[in-house]
Structure formats: structure tokens, C-alpha cells
Structure 1
């Protein structure tokens, strides 16, 4: 199961074990069980403190638990093989079970240990899902830190009948005590916020004591990270308030157009940015969703940003880099069948539609790339583009047209997504030239039609927005309000690209620096401090 390189890497990691670890497998007949036995035997052979047994009696076969030998009440179960994106999750589970301290915020760890109640988590993942590891690792940590929490992490391809019975059509899919808990990526803090009803109040109380920042960045994507690094390097007190650090990077798989980096993946780049930010005295506030901007009444005064948890942050200058999100079709059936056949991440959810008929909506690069990837997995792909022709790069169009199980529909307007028994069963497409409507029978719809800027919270702020809702900025990233700057996909800057966002964030940081050194703080600064 493991090649020589992986064995050597794992052996190096296992040298960090502080206590013996037990692997207990429940196996049946067949190739998957044989592979599970081989994997566990190979792991056990790499370190004397790891033992493997095969006398488990769990109904899910193949599956295995990982537990500390001295504390059998704390365990995590993998059902199926945690390879691909989940191999790192397996390594971390072994290390944490073996007493190696997890690299999580101490307050979060205490919150996990202090949770009251019994929590039985079941979570479905696919080996190609780049959003799943965060959820897998968070639940693993919770199960290994609190004996009243269990986590069973299930590879959907191995347990296809179970996936179908529970109508799981998008991953990561998490169940709690037998009931749906959440569909989508979650970090540890987000899970705890859902379980701990007092989490928001404690977070707001903690933030209330923060003094005003000289620079406060709202948004933690490439633009926000770059802006914060630049202002921190200039010696200004800098904070980042982000609903989710990394932004859309967390939902992006292959990145091949970042100069100097031939290939990386979104979650890795997000982690790299977070590490870079962490090298400076930047106050990073995660899970911070901005809901209102109150601009300063005088130039040089304090701007205020109110958060969803009730806290208010203040700063002499603001850099708004809240990014954008996937655009919805806005047709009947889309919201009703979200995660029941309507999906937005082909890499995450594509394997769940193996052999089935699906549609991709959108003929730009994202849509055509999605259709190419999905055509290798599913039975048939219908690509629907609103325009008269595809807008993707010619090389992508040529590749798509070469695939035998793809139909391309142009001048097509999706008017409805239909379903039956709680799942997608088709869609209605109108020909924009003839007006003729056509029903296409299928089991999945992947929406890839562009982005919407995250600016709804700015509607009453006095900040100038374009007709598309973007923050209007000049060539230096300045907005119409003194001391407030914009950067990245949320602004009117053309070309929504990672490298462009990084440059715009750097520019906004330098512009904020220029503003601060030329603007005297008004009296309210001293009073607030």
C-alpha cells in the first residue's frame, strides 16, 4: 500500500510518538479489506509503539480504530482507506493518539475538552476532496481529546450503498447523533461554535478589550494576507478579521498560473499564507464575519467594523478584501436541491456521481475545466453555456470537444432544476434563439457561472459600489472614503486572479501606509486608547 518514500516519511513522523498506539481493524472479504490489513501491517512495522490487531467487530467492514493504548475510551474510526488527500489525516491521527501535541490554539483545545454531552459524529469524505481533510482532522482531534465524542470517518466510495441510503450527494457531509449536522468544509472553531452556544458571547467579550488598530484588514484571502504583511512590515499595528482565512483558496484545487510556482493547491497556498502572516505581529481574528461598517466622522478618526458575534473592532485605516463567492443560478430548484444533486465543487463531489449523467452550467474556464474533469468520472456531461459560444481558452475547448461523453449546448438558459424524492432528476434548458424548451434527464448539476462580491454588509456605509456590487477603487486602491481601501476580487479591479489579488493587496497596504503617515489622528484616537 505504501511506497518506499511514504514509508520513510511515516517512519520519521512516528518517531514523535510518546505513547503506544493501537490499531484495531474490522475486516470482511474482498480487496478493500485486504488492502486495509496490508496498510495497518505496514504502519505497525515502522515503529515498536504501534500495534495492529484484526479482531474488531464493527459492522462497517473494512474499518479500523486508532486509539492510545493507555486510554481506550478515546478513539477515532476510519471506514475505508484514508489515502489520497486523507493520508495526512491518518498521520495526524496516529501522532495525536500517540501523545504528540496537536498544533491548535490552546483555548480551542480546552473548549473541546470541556464540551458537555455525548456527540457521535459520522462524516463522509471522498479521496479527491480537498475540503474534506479539515473536517476529518477536526473531528479526529475532538474524538481523541474528549471521551464523550466519537468520530467515524467514512470513505464514500467504499460504502456506496450507505452513501445512497443517506442521500449523500456532496462531501464533506457530517452527521451528528444520526442526524444531518452540516454539509461543507468546517474548521475546528466552526464546529465548536455550532456545539457551544456560548462561543459567540465569549468571542465578543474577548474582542471588546482590543485597542484600535492602525490598520485593520477585513478578509483573509490572498489580497488580505498580502496587505497585512506589507503594513506589518512598515511597523503599524495590524489586524486581520476573516470569516475564513484563505477565502476561496480553500475551495480551489490546482493552481498553475502563479509565477514562480509551477503547481500548488489552494488549501496549501492558504496554509502558506497563514504561516507567512504568522511571522509578523499581526493579530489574526478568524471566524469574524463583518456585518456593518461605520466610517469615521473625521479624517484621521476611527472607523468601526461590527461583527456578527456582537463585537466591534476599530482602526485608523481599513483594507476591505472580503473577496467573492460562487454565483447562484437563481432558478427554481437550485436552493431546494443544494447538496442533493446541485453542487459547486467538481473536485469534491464529482466522485459521488460516478457513472451518472450530470450537467455543468457555465462555459468559461472554470466550467470547461469542471466538465473535462467530470467526464473522466461520470457517465455523461452536458455543458450549458448562456452565450452563443464558449468563453474558455481554446486549448480547454479543444480538449472538451475531444471527449466522447460530452454534449455542448450554447445559447442555453437554465430555467429550472427538477427533482423527485428529494434528489435532482433533471433540468429545463431554454434555447435563447428559438425559445424552445428542452428537458434533460440527469442526476447532478454543477454550477460554474462566476462570482458575486461579498459586499452586502456595506450597503448602508456610504462606500461607493459598482452596479455589480464591487467596491470602486482607484489605481492606488483608495475608495471614496478617506482611510478606507479595497483590494482583490471584491473590487472593480479587472481579472479576478490570485496573483492580481496579491498585488492589489500589497498596493492597498502601501496606500494605507502613505495615508497614515500623512494623516494626524484626531482626539478620539487618544480617548479610545
Structure 2
């Protein structure tokens, strides 16, 4: 089933297995079961001295297989084939089960082992979802480390009837003890924090105990990462506080316009950003959501940033690089049916609509790319654009117009996303020229209409534009001395990764220039 090159790579990885474990498969007569057996036989054959394969499993979900280290009470199951984006997750699960240490902070591992309770996770994923591996790997590791955590990873395409019955219309989607736990990308620290009620208070205490920084960067996307690298290379104390490193880049499937990088994807690019920042010894604090900024009371005093967990950090200068998030279309039905037919990631959730009819709202590059991608999966795509013509690049417009299963409506105003009370069943839009209203029956809607800056916590302190963007000058300075900003959250035109990175570097250089020109050295408050 695996190509020889991939087998060779897998054989190399499996040499790291230290402890014996067994794989127990539950199979039926389906083609998927035959493929699973072939895969598992290959894995077992590459480390027959450490891995035992049994095919006498009796799990209700077929095909599936469990991993269990000898002498332990592990509960980790994969239902369906973990290939595509999940092949790495499978390899890591094999290594961790075999005793290879994970690259996770010791504090997080200790918190997982200390979880007090019985947790049964069921996680639905798709093989094309680039947000799913983080969740799969997190829940897999938790099951390996703590016998009271049971994890089943379910490939939605192999269990369509189950997906339909549980109304799973977006991935990743996680159920805990039969109840919805969360959807969307979640890091292991986030999951543990939701289970460990005392984590927030401990995290806040850690922040409060930190010494002031020379430069504190709020946000860990391309602009924040570039700012961190440029600041750290100046030899000054630099910190990054961010909800998740990489920011919205993590949700980008393909990156083909970053100079010198021919092609990559968001998660890989984000990982490279973080690796370079860590290389320079920057203090990175994740799972931190800024709540308020307190300007210096007088020139030369410290800026304070307060966070939602109650902690705060102080710094001589602050660079705001909080980025942006998907913009909502703000029509009736959008919030009600979010993750029940209203989606924002076509790469993640597109496979759930195989053979069905969907709509894409938005005629820019993101919207047209989504329509093109979905057209290869679904029965039909309705593309709705408010303006008089599609705004995407000409090459994309030509491509989407050539597709027979895509219908394009311009001068169309979306007025409502309709549903049956549990899931989407259609979309309404109005022709802006004739005024005629239309209703299109369909199963899903993908919203692709741009971004909104993450700046709500700055209102009343930092000057914002009427669009909520941080107003900056050519040096990245805000209206508050010592506070700079960069990236998609600012008034800098053109929201592109390469521009955000450049603006982050500029803001760091401006912050350094501010520091060396201060008449009096800042002392810790």
C-alpha cells in the first residue's frame, strides 16, 4: 500500500521504538479493511521484534485498530485509515506507544498524567484537513500518557452514516463522554487547560512573576515572529505572548508567493517561524489572549499588557501583532448553523460534502480558490459575489468560469442562510440590480469574505481606524509612546504574509531605536 520510499522512511522512524506493543485490528470484508490490513502488516514487518499484530479485534467500528503498549492499560484507537495529513499522526502514535519521548513540554506531560477523571474522546477528522493533525496528535498522546483517557480517532469519510447521525459537518470535531467538547484546531495545551480547572490561575501566576522585557510582542503570526527575530538579534530581552504560534497562517493550505519559498503550507510555515524564533532564545508564551493594554504613566515607564487569565506582563516597548480572523457575513442563520453547515475552511470541511451541493460567499482569491477546490469534491458549487465582478486574480477567474458544476452570481447580496433547525438546507440572496430574491437548496455554505482585525481589546487606548485597524505611521508607531504595531491588524495596506513579516521587522527596528534613544534607562516596576 505504501510506496517504497515511504516504507524506507517509516522503517527509519520505527527504529526509535524502544518498548514492545501490539496492534489489534477489527476488520470486515470492505476494501478499506483490506487496505488497513496491508498497512498494518507493513508496519509490523518493519519492527517484528517490537510490534505484534492481531486481527481478532471485535470493535463495533470496522475497520479500526488499537495501539497498546505491553503491560499498560492504553486506550487509543484509529477508525478508518489515518493517511493523507494524518500519516504523520500515525507515525507519532506508533513511536510514542513504543516509548519514544514526545517533543512536548515536561510541564504539559505532567499535567496530562495528573488529570483526575475518566475522559473518553471521540474525534472526527478528514484526510485533507490541515487543522486536524494537531488535535489527533494531542488526543493520541493523552491516551498514551494517561490510562484514564480513552481516544478514538475517526476518519469521517469511512464512517459517513455515523457522521450524518451525529451531525458532524465540520472537522476537527471532538466529543468528550458523548457530549460536544470542541471543534476546530486545538493544541494540546488548550485541551489540557480545558480539563484542568486550575491551569489558568497557575499560568497567570507565571506571567506575573516574569521580569519586564525590553520588547514584548503580542501575537505570534508572521509579523510577530519577524519582530521577535529582529529584536532578539539586537541582544535585548524579548518575549512573545500569543494564543497560538503562527496565527491564521495555520489555517492556510497553500503558500506559493512567499519570496524564496517555492511552495509550502501553513502548518509547515508556522513551524518554521517558531523554530527560528526559539533559535534566538525568545521567551514564547502560548495560550495567552490579551485583554487590555495600559500605557506608560510617564515617559520612560513601562507598558503593561493584561491577559484574560488574569496575568500581566510589563515591557519597555510593546509590538502589537494580533493579526486578523475570518470575517462573518452577518446574516440570519450564520451563527445558528456554524459548524452545522456554515464553514470557513474548504480544505478541512470540503470532504464532508462529497456529492452534495454547496455555496461559497466571496469572489476574491480565497472565495474563488475555494469554489475551484470544492468543485472537485461536491456535486455543485454556487459562488456568490456582492460586487459586479469577481475580484480574484484573472487566472483563477478563468479557471472557475471553465468549471461546469460552478454557477456564479455577481451583484448578489446574501440575505439569509436557511436551515431545518439542526443543519443548513439553503441560502437566500438578492439580485442587487433587479431586486429579485432567490433561494438555493444546498447542504453547506463556505464563507470567504476577508478578514477582521483582532483589536477589540485596544478600544479606548490605541487609535483605531473605522475598520478597527491599528493606526500606524511609516515606522510602525502607534499613538502611544513605546507601543508599535505590525501585520494584518494595522492600517498597512495589502494583507499578505510577506508584507506582515516585513512590517514586523520594521516595528522591531523602530522599537530598538526607541529604546536606545530613551534618556533614562527603564527600571523594573
TM norm. shorter chain > 0.5: yes
Counterpart contact for 1:242–1:286, Cα < 8 Å:
yes
Give the superposition deviation at 1:473.
Answer: 0.9
Q: Is the 8 A contact 1:417 1:426 kept in 2?
A: yes
Where do 1:226-245 residues align within 5 Å?
226-245=226-245
Kept after mapping to 2: 8 A contact 1:301/1:521: no
Per the alignment, in what secondary structure is the counterpart of residue 40 of structure 1?
helix
Query: Deviation of residue 479 (structure 1)?
Result: 1.1
> Contact 1:359–1:384 at 8 Å: present in 2 too?
yes
**What displacement does 1:527 show?**
4.9
Distance in 2 (CA, whole Å) between partners of 1:353 and 1:521 is 62
Q: Deviations over 1:96-149 (max 9, x none)?
A: 000000110000000000000100000000000000000000000000000000
Residue correspondence of structure 1 range 350-499 to structure 2 within 5 A? 350-461=350-461, 463-499=462-498
Other-structure match for 2:172: 172
- Provide the residue aligned with 2:117 in structure 1: 117
Q: How far apart in 1 are the matches of 2:258 and 2:524?
A: 45
Paired residue for 2:256? 256
Equivalent runs, 1:10-159 vs 2, <5 Å: 10-47=10-47, 48-71=49-72, 73-159=73-159
Quote how far apart the aligned CAs of 1:435 are: 1.4
- After superposition, give the CA deviation of every residue in 1:263-299 in whole Å (9 maximum; x if it has no partner): 0000010011111111112110000000101110122
1:503 maps to what in 2? Answer: 502
Bigger mean CA offset, 296-305 vs 381-390: 296-305
Q: Distance in 2 between matches of 1:268 and 1:521?
A: 42
Contact 2:26 2:65 in 1 (8 A): yes
In the alignment, the residues of structure 2 paired with residue 520 and residue 122 of structure 1 have an alpha-carbon distance, to the nearest angstrom, of 59
Once the two structures are superposed, what CA deviation does each residue of 1:73-104 show, in whole Å capped at 9, x if it has no partner?
11310000000000000000000000000110
What's the RMSD between the two structures over aligned residues? 0.8
- What is the CA deviation profile of residues 369-411 of structure 1, one whole-angstrom value per residue up to 9, with x for unaligned ones? 0000000000000000000100001110000011000000000
SS of corresponding position for 1:477: coil
Determine the C-alpha separation between the residues in 2 that align with 1:527 and 1:473. Answer: 27
TM-score, length-scaled by structure 2: 0.99
Contact (CA 8 Å) 1:76, 1:151: kept in 2 or not? yes
SS at match of 1:255: coil
2:1 corresponds to 1:7:
no
What's the offset of the Cα at 1:487? 0.5
Three-state SS of the structure 2 residue aligned to 1:56 is coil
Distance 1:298 1:420, change over 3 A: same
Q: Distance in 1 between matches of 2:69 and 2:7?
A: 21
Matched residues in 2 for 1:225 and 1:464: separation?
Answer: 23
Q: Distance in 2 between matches of 1:199 and 1:480?
A: 35
> Size of the alignment, in residue pairs?
524
1:339-361 deviation digits (Å, cap 9, x = unpaired): 00000000000000001110000
Offset at 1:482?
A: 1.1
Q: What TM-score, normalized by structure 1, do the two folds share? A: 0.98
Q: Do 1:68 and 1:75's aligned partners in 2 also have CA atoms closer than 8 Å?
A: no
The C-alpha deviation readout for 1:5-26, integer Å capped at 9, x for no partner, is 1111111111111101211100
Map of 2:523 onto structure 1: 526
